[in-house]
Amino acid sequence: MVFGGAKMKVYIVGHRGPEHNEVVSIHKTRNGSLKAWNRVRLDLLRDARRLARNDKYGKKMWNEIIRNLSCKDPKKIDNYPHETPYIGEHEVKD
């Protein structure tokens, strides 16, 4: 879709793992998607910290997940094979 000669993009925010891909929101601006991505990242980080406190056998795994989710750059974050927040950029077609 072209608006005044410029192509329109949308930004999809979600999180994925080996067996799921959940879209959380869609945004018109990169800035809006960054804010939403950070909220998703912080929610995943909060869950990982809570689970780390309650799992005496998986401390090493949870500490690695917490370290991975502490990355504040959506292009560099890598928490595979666990839940990883993402931003997908897509052009809207006519």
Mean pLDDT (the chain, rounded):
92
Sign of the C-alpha dihedral, residues 45, 78, 75, 92? negative
Checking if the pLDDT of 23 tops 90, the result is: yes
| Residue 70: partners with Cβ closer than 8 Å, 6 or more residues away | 45
In the predicted model, what is the mean pLDDT of residues 40-46? 97
Please state, in angstroms and as integers, the Cα–Cα distance from residue 4 to each residue in 25, 87, 89, 93, following that order: 26, 26, 20, 14
Predicted pLDDT at 56 = 82
